[in-house]
Amino acid sequence: MRLKLATLLVVLGVSAALAQTWPTLPATGFVSGRPATDKDITDGNALFVLKAHGVYFGKPLDIVIPQYAYLLTKGDKPVPVIVVQAERERSIKLFGVRAQNGEVFVVKEPELQLLGAKPPG
């Protein structure tokens, strides 16, 4: 009985640790359907610009922006983030994401689990 109770408490503890209150997706502060520009960076709408010799070369990814996601880190639990930008350069897909604590990250596709526009349940 003790083993079953201990197992149940561990499972409940893990479930509580994974429980997450997600914020409402922002109505502004993101870039969608086009490459980010220097003005987007200045205005706080983008986290990176793909540009060389004055020419923007990023291609927007065909995904919903903004959306919920998990930033996947080695050995740590996934970090809840909001995707505010998604572009590619050739075969490399880059994402600009914001964490709830204000941290921002630019990550490649394997480092992110996209969750969609509805708060994960």
Q: What is the pLDDT of residues 7-22, one digit of tens each?
A: 443 344 444 445 679 9
SS3 content of the chain, % helix, strand, coil (to 5): 20, 35, 45
pLDDT digits (tens, 9 = 90+) for 33-52: 999 999 999 999 999 999 99
Q: What are phi and psi of 110, to 5 degrees?
A: -65, -15
Q: Supply the pTM of this predicted model.
A: 0.82
Which amino acid would we find at residue 1? M
Tens digits of per-residue pLDDT, 75-86?
889 999 999 999
| DSSP of 76-117 | SPPEEEEEEEEEEETTEEEEEEEETTS-EEEEEGGGEEEEES
Residue that is written with structure tokens 């540009």 in the block: 51
Residue ranges per structural domain of the chain: 20-116
